[in-house]
Amino acid sequence: MLLLTGGSGFVGQALTNNQTIQSLGITVVGRRPNISLSSNIRQITIGDFLPSTEWSRYLSGIDTVIHLAARVHVISETASDPLAEFRKTNTASTLNLASQAAASGVSRFIFLSSIKVIGEFSQPGKPFTSDEINIPTDPYGLSKFEAEQGLRKLANQTGMEVVIIRPPLIYGPGVKANFLEMMRWLDKGVPLPLGAINNKRSLVALENLVDLIITCIDHPAAANQTFLAGDGEDLSTTELLSRISKALGKPARLIPVPERLLKIGLNAVGKKDIAQRLCGSLQVDISKAKDLLGWEPPVTVDEGLKKTVEWFKKRTEC
């Protein structure tokens, strides 16, 4: 039996709709009822995840916990102390759940972390590896890092197996934020000054991430390991936009503005962070998951983009 937190989120919905997950028996715990869940899935509503939440009655008979629930990046942050808020949900509440899971006899705890635990940019041609250690300064990344550290300590103390998965940018049906906005621009044929960017970025299709999580549920070699998720093919920003346009069946109107000039222009208008995200590299090495688990991403980048675009088209038609 599985217990899943964050079942109403982007990754959580894909997991709960997966037939393999449903066949294993799943209890979904959320802050609010999710009317989209299948009727054969047990659903529990507990309100906010807190460091004081009592979990023991929900953990009876559970073999594996898949913990997705988290406080993610807030575009318009209103908290007076963002780090404290991230720590409350992503660190303290995670460790509270994990401690009670261990006490209840749960054998494995799968934690969806983030590549931000290692960093937001890698050196060109030097992808991050699973076992790299780097203390992040970003509040979200730091809260995830501290959760990872606490989980490893708990695994050593209790014997409960912990599996940590760090994904980079996740895309797929239901994607939001910047990726969705990019598809809107390309679908409308908006000219973009992004035709000459030579960075390299790793992505992970939602279907590939779900497959990796499922592989880690009972694979003996996954115990107490950390894995990076990815599609196995890195793209520049220009290549990504071109491939999305191709999937949309639209011409890519990408103006080849030199990268140096693009950075200067964005920095001049106070968009340094955007310049870094568009032009910087972020590569991950997924060889550990391949070698240790015998895992291969089941879909290619182009297949993942095609499914994402199909969802996008249906969404815009509604």
Catalytic (active-site) positions? 140
Q: Identify whether the C-beta of residue 216 lies closer than 8 Å to the C-beta of residue 110.
A: yes
For residues 253-272, one letter each, b for 16 or more C-beta atoms within 10 angstroms of the residue's C-beta and e for the rest, the string is bbeeeebeebbeebeeeeee
The number of beta carbons lying within 10 Å of the beta carbon of residue 178 is 12
Task: Tally the C-alpha atoms within 13 A of residue 34's C-alpha that lie toward its C-beta.
Answer: 27
Spatial separation of the C-alpha atoms in residues 180 and 30, rounded to whole Å: 25
Spatial separation of the C-alpha atoms in residues 26 and 16, rounded to whole Å: 8
Spatial separation of the C-alpha atoms in residues 16 and 6, rounded to whole Å: 10
HEC profile for 173-235?
CCCCHHHHHHHHHHHHCCCECCCCCCCCECEEEHHHHHHHHHHHHHCHHHCCEEEECCCCCCE
Amino acid identity, position 26:
I
Strand partners, 45: 30
Strand partners, 42: 27
Spatial separation of the C-alpha atoms in residues 47 and 303, rounded to whole Å: 37
